[in-house]
Amino acid sequence: MDVTKTDQQLIDVHAHFLTDAYVTAARDAGHIHPDGMAGWPHWSAEEHLRLMDRWGVATAMLSISSPGTHFGDDASARRLTREVNEAGAAISRDHPGRFGHFASLPLPDVTGALDELGYAFDELDSDGITIETNSAGVYLGDDRYETLYRELNRRRAVVFVHPTSPPHAETIALGRPRPMLEFIFDSTRAVSNLVFTGTLVRYPDIEWVFTHGGGTLPLLAERMELFRTVFLGDDDPHSAVPRQLTRLWFDIAGTPFPHQVPAAVAAFGAARLLYGSDYCWTPAHGVDAQLASIDQADQPDDDSWRALTTRNAIRLLR
């Protein structure tokens, strides 16, 4: 896609869309209050474009958020995934340069995911794919995903990983919306599994994008490395946790300042930091506040957070 923009025009890698058919299917599957939220937001391309102009966003990469497209039946999941991917690709075609598209996969159905991956890239011209931190309790790094990762690696694919509710979320979330805490912890859990299964080392050409400044990873990376070396006895320098994590990309959706972005930059640097709004699940006034915090924060030397994240996104989506 065309991502040649001016420095101050943001590229939003973490933006969501919905279709009526998708919401109906999710509700029919029991997701009335998805991930413990009050209900489903409204989305339209026209309203999103109006807000993008207000926010200074040139291009938004659209994806389906949690709870994904697999609600228990493989055949139904394949049909629903195809429907939302064709819808997302059509939106992107109808608004060239304004919307990109990360295609969904019907995981944990690997056969269906491989078929949809080929269709998304070869027929729909999708810009990448989106998967969740776990699918029915199957976490990234699981052995059953090896054939999928080989294909993603061959294609040098951008893989946007969106957090979702962990297993037994109703118990551990204590009645609170899971995006508040559990999404952050599940991103950390998913990355740690990719690290300790060696997936990131085996498939170095996959461009992984994780959300919310890496969640708790800036605080836990050194602890993970301690356990790798001292308790697990791994002395391979190629497996060093900091080395693996600095190959990942992180968006800054959520509450970027005063703490989230500085922690991520201190841990992993700024060269793979990306802008993300999380609209439409984050309402417009929440994005207003997020952007105000970005623009009012101390800016990088001789730069701005807008310019830095835009240049990074152009490198990622080249």
**pLDDT score for 105:** 98
* pLDDT of residue 32 exceeding 70: yes
**pLDDT score for 6:** 57
- Residue 131: what residue type? I
**Six token digits for residue 69:** 């497209």
**Six token digits for residue 99:** 């919307």
Average the pLDDT over 91-101 and give the result.
Answer: 98
* pLDDT of residue 206 exceeding 70: yes
Instruction: Return the percentage of the chain with pLDDT > 90, whole number.
Output: 96
Closest by Cα among 11, 17, 103, 31 to 72: 31
**pLDDT score for 318:** 87
Mean predicted lDDT score pLDDT of the chain: 96
Q: What is the pTM of this model?
A: 0.96
Q: How far is CA 306 from CA 54, 200, 249, 297, in A?
A: 14, 28, 16, 11
The answer to whether residues 170 and 121 touch, using CB atoms and an 8 Å cutoff, is no
pLDDT interval class at 302 (50, 70, 90): confident
Please list the residues that pair with 135 across neighbouring strands: 138
Q: Residue 285: count other Cβ atoms within 10 Å of its Cβ.
A: 8
| More confident: 1 or 67 | 67
E-state strands within the chain: 10-16, 57-63, 99-104, 128-132, 134-135, 138-139, 158-162, 207-210, 249-251, 273-274
* pLDDT of residue 4 exceeding 60: no
For the chain, domains (ranges, CATH) are 10-316 (3.20.20.140)
Closest by Cα among 101, 14, 90, 88 to 57: 14
